[in-house]
């Protein structure tokens, strides 16, 4: 009987611990001596060639890198497939999955269903406008997933004690992809405002 891999997706707004969960699975796979492949899209330039989790520093009033692991920055499904074949990996881990191309979900299905490789993905479900990303990559990945873990963050709004469902843009350009943690914060529905109309500043 042909072995089938499982597809797991960690999803939610920024600062919700998605990368923490992904790194936790990576470290577990390393302890179990699994052959693994770590990838991230070239558009994510925040931490170089690393998958990194963030931790908020009260003394500095900002997020800093907490834990990181080396990863391949890739630009196409063909490049990923070449790395899979080269490493003969048993598990693929991918961060910021929303930035991969429209052919990425088809590749993920091939890895799991045809090649028997487990795939763990982390990514944003919505852009800063509270809408699906233009490429619709995450929507397709959620349809393929065997398991999804939806995360929430703490709201950054003034005097707010709610959980955050959305990513709020507070700086940078109006592009959909605008790397940089300082350009965003997590907000609940009550604290969220459109960036173009009324940008707000972080309160922590």
Burial class of residue 187 in the structure, from the number of CB atoms within 10 Å of its CB (0-12 exposed, 13-18 middle, 19+ buried)? buried
Q: How far apart are CA 62 and CA 24, in angstroms?
A: 23
User: Given the DSSP bridges, would you call strands 118-123 and 91-94 parallel, antiparallel or unpaired?
Assistant: parallel
Cα 88 to Cα 27, 57, 69, 100, distances in angstroms: 18, 39, 19, 22
Cα 142 to Cα 6, 11, 44, 97, 192, distances in angstroms: 13, 9, 21, 11, 25
Beta-carbon contacts of residue 109 (< 8 Å; ≥ 6 apart): 7, 144
Please list the active-site residues. 96
Rg (CA), the chain: 17
- Which spans in 128-201 are helix H? 137-144
Q: How far apart are CA 57 and CA 99, in angstroms?
A: 27
């Amino acid at each position: 009987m042909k072995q089938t891999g499982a597809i797991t997706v960690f999803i939610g707004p920024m600062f919700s611990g998605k990368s923490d969960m992904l790194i936790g699975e990576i470290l577990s796979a390393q302890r179990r001596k699994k052959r693994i492949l770590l990838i991230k899209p070239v558009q994510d330039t925040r931490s170089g060639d690393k998958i990194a989790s963030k931790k908020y520093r009260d003394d500095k009033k900002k997020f800093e890198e907490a834990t990181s692991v080396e990863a391949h920055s890739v630009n196409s499904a063909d490049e990923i497939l070449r790395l899979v074949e080269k490493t003969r990996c048993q598990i693929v881990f991918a961060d910021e999955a929303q930035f991969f191309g429209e052919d990425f979900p088809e590749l993920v299905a091939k890895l799991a269903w045809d090649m028997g490789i487990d795939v763990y993905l982390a990514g944003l479900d919505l852009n800063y406008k509270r809408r699906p990303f233009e490429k619709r990559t995450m929507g397709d990945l959620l349809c393929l997933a065997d398991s999804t873990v939806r995360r929430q963050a703490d709201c950054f709004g003034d005097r707010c004690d709610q959980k955050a469902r959305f990513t709020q843009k507070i700086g940078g350009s109006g592009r959909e992809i605008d790397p940089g943690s300082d350009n965003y914060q997590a907000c609940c529905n009550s604290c969220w405002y459109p960036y173009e109309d009324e940008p707000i500043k972080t309160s922590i």
